[in-house]
Amino acid sequence: MKRTWTIIGVRDVPSSFRWYQSLFGLPETRPGHAYFGQILDSDGTVLLCLHQWGAHEHPSLTSPDHATPGNGLLLFFRVDDFDMALRRARTLVARLEEEPHTNPGTRTEEFSLRDPDGYYVTISALSPLELAGHETPA
């Protein structure tokens, strides 16, 4: 099996770490470093990595001033607790970017919000088949 580790540049790793843990309903823990942290699912799967802007010499993470954070990037998460995720999201932001609606492609409910660094985050419900452990129909 192969996994992707999505890494985004953030201003404040510990603060963004708490924000994402809250959004996903995960127990609050601290990131491994002040400049880098991995948001982990309950089974240890890496959901998202947070990297402080300019902490190392990664060309695309030098500064948010060189490009708009999130330009060309959509963080899209499928969750098994959609209603709870929506409630948690409403406590994290003043308004959603998109209210809950049915995505015609996935035929599941989703909503979108912005994280503290301006990244566009979409939360999508797993389909009943996915929740039962089966593949989604094409």
Listed residue (57, 19, 11) closest to 35, CA to CA: 11
Give the chain's end-to-end CA distance (angstroms, integer): 21
102 secondary structure, DSSP code = E
Question: Is the entire prediction scored with pTM above 0.85?
Answer: no
CA separation for the pair 116, 44 (Å, rounded): 24
**Mean pLDDT split into 10-residue runs, the chain, 138 residues:** 85 97 96 95 94 81 75 86 97 97 90 94 84 59
CA separation for the pair 18, 30 (Å, rounded): 8
CATH fold of 7-131, please? 2,3-Dihydroxybiphenyl 1,2-Dioxygenase; domain 1 (3.10.180)
